[in-house]
Structure 1
Amino acid sequence: MKRIRVLSELRALNRTWRCDGATVGVVPTMGALHQGHLSLVKQAKAACDRVIVTVFVNPKQFNNAEDLDKYPRTEDADAEALAPFDVDVMYLPTPDQIYPDGFSTNVSVSGVSEGLCGAHRPGHFDGVATVVAKLLLQTGADRAFFGEKDFQQLQVVKRLVRDLDIPTEIVGCATVREEDGLALSSRNVRLSETARNTAPRLYAILQDVADELRRGATAEAAIYTAKARIELAGFSEVEYLELRAEDGLTPTTVLDRPARLLVAAWLDGVRLIDNIPVAP
């Protein structure tokens, strides 16, 4: 596996792959790789001839400077985690390769970015859309692999490539969970032992709400009760718990089409997000 930090070197290698007729897959990450990331790498390897894993802690998608400073940077450990998967390139662009001097372009995706995380993290999805557009164009990937845990982000990226005619297929991959149901996240390592034991309640309560909706309960009533249960479980704040249509992420109150229950809540100073599909 090559570690590449400069765009010109990546593009030169990509040209040789294209001459050989190879398909290219990319897994964009901010590092601190866990089994969720590695499941994306595995799917990329199965679908593509060549695979690039990008590692770039994007300052434009952080609303809080302290959160950016705390984000783990573990390049060598990440490289070790990727070694068994025979990844071709670990792309670690320096900041100037993504945001050179004078960079003044912002990519903003309306609609699917509004509400949910978009309401609580102003500018976050502009940062996501901008860096993803850059990485897709820099890697020239045929397919890009994203986890469904960040479901709103996945919809933003899908809309981005559709609207800008970026010729990359966006592949959504199922959320990977611990045995107790907690969705894998780089932030989980910041939970205390007590909070780590509490965290799986978020997923369990989402499942209960989904069951109630399938039995005919109204979303308003089921969600009101669920928010109280989440707080009673030990979470300090529920930022949102909503039912949204999968197609377009429009709010819905009745289960008359494929939908997602999406939640964000704070526990032990750590912001956790999760979602599950709910079908009629």
Structure 2
Amino acid sequence: MRVVSSIRELRAMLKEMRPKTIGFVPTMGYLHEGHLSLVEKAKEMSDVVVMSIFVNPLQFGLNEDLEKYPRDIERDCRLAEAQGVDILFFPPVEEMYPPGSKTIVSVKEITECMCGASRPGHFDGVATVVTKLFNIVQPDYAFFGMKDAQQVAVITQMVRDLNIPVEIVPCPIVREADGLALSSRNVYLSPEERKQALVLSRSLKRAQEMVECGERDATVLRTAIESVIQESPLADIDYIEIRSYPELVPLEELRGDCLIALAVRFGRTRLIDNIMLVASQEDIACSVR
């Protein structure tokens, strides 16, 4: 595995490798099995796998955890190399945002709900850095985990609107054996918070079971999810949303491709999780991703 930190060096390296297909896995590091599953999918579909590790300051708001966000580049390098990453791009902030940078990429409407409502400006930061990374790497495929389903919707919309020649490949959520969705931020949780955080996947499973039994009323489902989460005294609900996907239009009744998403704080740690459903009047098919 080759580790590079400059845009010029990375572009020169990739130029030598084309016309091989390039698969790209953008991350903020502190890798876990969810990230590594993206690499595995990238290896299936690509000749060359590029991973980036960049903690993007533009997507962190005031009083968020930019400075405390977990970092361990030596560990990440070992994991990435063992998983089969060919090139690891690890740029400093000044390489990605030189002095005098003035351009922001902004996707409208679908960024104004859910995490966008809770974290103003977050998706402008995501869209900007991902656009820059796509311009630098020029991948054929880019791989994103569905744990942040809204992010996948935003990036897919951005790629379509800006005619960026890359195929976005959504990949399933990877969970611990007890159901907790993998996240770099899980390291923040105390043992008791970690235990109580299991109400997230438990509440979504309850909603899934209700849908499989024929429930389609979004209010009923939301109330059921809330009641399960409130079994945890440490849980502080940010949002519980039921929306169409990828349009992210609020639903009163489940129909078509649907997203049930939630964000909950345990102490200072904000966790997100979701399930995707496909619903019709005649039957309901559910899948947890």
TM-score by length of 1: 0.96
Q: Which residue number in structure 2 is paired with residue 14 of structure 1?
A: 14
Judge conservation of contact 2:216–2:254 (CA < 8 Å) in 1: no
Residues 156-185 of structure 1: CA deviation (Å, up to 9, x unaligned): 000111100110111000000001110000
The Cα of 1:257 is off from its aligned counterpart by 1.1
For residues 168 and 235 of structure 1, what CA distance do their matches in structure 2 show? Answer: 41
Q: Which residue number in structure 1 is paired with residue 132 of structure 2?
A: 134
Judge conservation of contact 2:142–2:167 (CA < 8 Å) in 1: yes
Q: Which residue number in structure 2 is paired with residue 262 of structure 1?
A: 261
Matches within 5 A, 1:33-48: 33-48=31-46
For residues 8 and 143 of structure 1, what CA distance do their matches in structure 2 show? Answer: 21
Residue of structure 2 aligned with 1:61, choices 59, 62, 65: 59
Q: Do structure 1's residue 116 and structure 2's residue 109 form an aligned pair?
A: no
Judge conservation of contact 1:259–1:278 (CA < 8 Å) in 2: yes
For residues 139 and 263 of structure 1, what CA distance do their matches in structure 2 show? Answer: 32
For residues 108 and 42 of structure 2, what CA distance do their matches in structure 1 show? Answer: 28
Q: Which residue number in structure 2 is paired with residue 236 of structure 1?
A: 235
Secondary structure, aligned partner of 1:67: coil
Q: After alignment, is 121-130 or 228-237 more displaced?
A: 228-237
RMSD of aligned C-alpha atoms? 1.2
The Cα of 1:93 is off from its aligned counterpart by 1.0
Q: Which residue number in structure 1 is paired with residue 148 of structure 2?
A: 150
Judge conservation of contact 2:60–2:122 (CA < 8 Å) in 1: yes
Secondary structure, aligned partner of 2:67: helix
How many residues are paired up? 278
Q: Which residue number in structure 1 is paired with residue 275 of structure 2?
A: 276
For residues 83 and 42 of structure 2, what CA distance do their matches in structure 1 show? Answer: 10
Matches within 5 A, 1:191-270: 191-214=189-212, 215-270=214-269
Judge conservation of contact 1:149–1:175 (CA < 8 Å) in 2: yes
For residues 101 and 242 of structure 2, what CA distance do their matches in structure 1 show? Answer: 37
Residue of structure 2 aligned with 1:74, choices 63, 72, 75: 72
Q: Which residue number in structure 1 is paired with residue 5 of structure 2?
A: 5
Secondary structure, aligned partner of 1:279: strand
Moved over 6 A (4+): none
For residues 253 and 211 of structure 1, what CA distance do their matches in structure 2 show? Answer: 18
Higher helix proportion, which one? 1
Letter in 1 for 2:242: L
For residues 109 and 67 of structure 1, what CA distance do their matches in structure 2 show? Answer: 23
Residues 227-280 of structure 1: CA deviation (Å, up to 9, x unaligned): 233123234311110111113111111112120100000013210000001222
The unaligned stretches of length 5 or more in structure 1 are none
Secondary structure, aligned partner of 2:35: helix
Q: Which residue number in structure 2 is paired with residue 165 of structure 1?
A: 163
The Cα of 1:155 is off from its aligned counterpart by 0.4
Residues 97-156 of structure 1: CA deviation (Å, up to 9, x unaligned): 211111000100012212100000000000000000000110111110000000000000
Letter in 1 for 2:117: A
Residues 177-205 of structure 1: CA deviation (Å, up to 9, x unaligned): 00111000001111111111111211111
The Cα of 1:217 is off from its aligned counterpart by 4.8
Judge conservation of contact 1:213–1:219 (CA < 8 Å) in 2: no
The 1:249–1:65 alpha-carbon spacing in structure 2 relative to 1, beyond 3 Å, is same
Judge conservation of contact 2:107–2:124 (CA < 8 Å) in 1: yes
For residues 233 and 278 of structure 1, what CA distance do their matches in structure 2 show? Answer: 25
Q: Which residue number in structure 2 is paired with residue 83 of structure 1?
A: 81
For residues 210 and 63 of structure 1, what CA distance do their matches in structure 2 show? Answer: 33
Secondary structure, aligned partner of 2:147: coil
Judge conservation of contact 2:127–2:158 (CA < 8 Å) in 1: yes
For residues 165 and 23 of structure 2, what CA distance do their matches in structure 1 show? Answer: 12
